[in-house]
Amino acid sequence: MTHRKNGFWNLCFSVIPGAGQMYQGFIKRGVSIMTLFFGWIMVCAFFGIDEALLLAIVIWFFGFFDSLHRNSLTDAERELLKDGFIFIQGNEMEQFSLRGFRIPAAILLIFFGSYSLLQLVIGELIDAGFLFWDNGIVRLVYDRLPKMVFSFVIIFLGIYLIVGRKKEMMDREEKEEENFPWMTQYREENFIEVQSDRSGMEDVIKDDQNHEEESKEAVEEQSDREEEQPEEDKKEDGGEQI
């Protein structure tokens, strides 16, 4: 890993998201931040969603302070840092393949191409005087359609992350069962022990409740006897006086 860079130049490059990391030698991390920042701005501009640009500000501050922080570390601390893409870990990069992204990439390319062609056609019709900017079709193409598509993409990504997480956990369990069959047996034994412990605890609780009820009944019987005893004594005293 490279040594600490000049603070002034690092500050200048840090103004551009990802450039400071590249200047320090973290090429993959810098490419990730720069692609994320400018790519998000391009998507927001293409779909006309100004509200989503707030995320670009967050990305800019992240890249800026991340570059300053990394350059402030000592050489020993910098040796422990590894360069890598933000959303892809080192072991996942070896298994990464573009084959799984062919269909989504093809869909995106077809959509972007079709939408650009539609914008071009609508623009020519407006220039020719057949359509106007306040027309419903123009508003649909330039305003509503991009926001609708963006909303569906966000929903799809959320569902994909949830389903992908569950699938990843299931695949991990299957791999553990294949590679470490004793681990499954160990889990089953622990589950049985936990169930037996729970049943034992339930029996103990029931016994305690029964003992409490019996003790309460004994106390009530004793109190009833003590109340009946003075009445019998009074009757005996009355008989002797007669």
- Per residue in 159-209, pLDDT tens? 877 877 676 677 666 666 666 555 555 566 665 565 665 665 666 577 667
* CA nearest neighbour of 1 among 80, 93, 90, 69: 80
* CA nearest neighbour of 30 among 73, 80, 78, 64: 64
In a domain, 196, yes or no: no
Over range 111-123, report the average pLDDT: 84
Over range 4-24, report the average pLDDT: 91
Identify the band that residue 227 occupies on the pLDDT scale cut at 50, 70 and 90. low
In a domain, 153, yes or no: yes
Task: Give the model's pLDDT for residue 99.
Answer: 63
Statement to judge: residues 87 and 158 lie in one domain: no
Statement to judge: residues 78 and 13 lie in one domain: yes
Task: Give the model's pLDDT for residue 17.
Answer: 94
Cα torsion through 125, 126, 132, 137, rounded to 10: 50
Statement to judge: residues 132 and 65 lie in one domain: no
Domain boundary among 179, 207, 231: 179
Range of the domain at 89: 7-95
Task: Give the model's pLDDT for residue 3.
Answer: 73
Q: Where are the alpha helices (DSSP H) in 53-131?
A: 54-71, 75-80, 90-95, 102-128
Statement to judge: residues 32 and 50 lie in one domain: yes
Identify the band that residue 136 occupies on the pLDDT scale cut at 50, 70 and 90. confident
In a domain, 42, yes or no: yes
The H or E element spanning position 161 is helix 145-179
In a domain, 138, yes or no: yes
Identify the band that residue 58 occupies on the pLDDT scale cut at 50, 70 and 90. very high
Q: Largest Cα–Cα distance in the chain? A: 132
The more confident residue out of 141 and 41 is 41
In a domain, 217, yes or no: no
What's the mean pLDDT when you consider all of the chain?
Answer: 76
Statement to judge: residues 146 and 162 lie in one domain: yes
Task: Give the model's pLDDT for residue 208.
Answer: 67
Task: Give the model's pLDDT for residue 16.
Answer: 95
The Cβ of residue 234 has, within 10 Å, a number of other Cβ atoms equal to 10
Distance (Å, whole) CA 121 – CA 123? 5
Statement to judge: residues 115 and 173 lie in one domain: yes
Task: Give the model's pLDDT for residue 4.
Answer: 80
**Contact (CB, 8 A) for 30 and 5:** no
Task: Give the model's pLDDT for residue 81.
Answer: 85
**Counted domains in the chain:** 2
Statement to judge: residues 24 and 90 lie in one domain: yes
In a domain, 214, yes or no: no
In a domain, 187, yes or no: no
Own/partner pairs, 87-90, CB within 8 angstroms, 24+ separation: 87/32
Statement to judge: residues 77 and 110 lie in one domain: no
Task: Give the model's pLDDT for residue 31.
Answer: 93
Statement to judge: residues 66 and 109 lie in one domain: no
The H or E element spanning position 168 is helix 145-179
Task: Give the model's pLDDT for residue 158.
Answer: 81
Statement to judge: residues 147 and 89 lie in one domain: no
Burial 143-178 (b: 16+ CB within 10 A, else e): eebbeeebeeeeeeeeeeeeeeeeeeeeeeeeeeee
Single pTM value for the model: 0.56
Domain boundary among 163, 179, 195: 179
Domain boundary among 134, 149, 179: 179
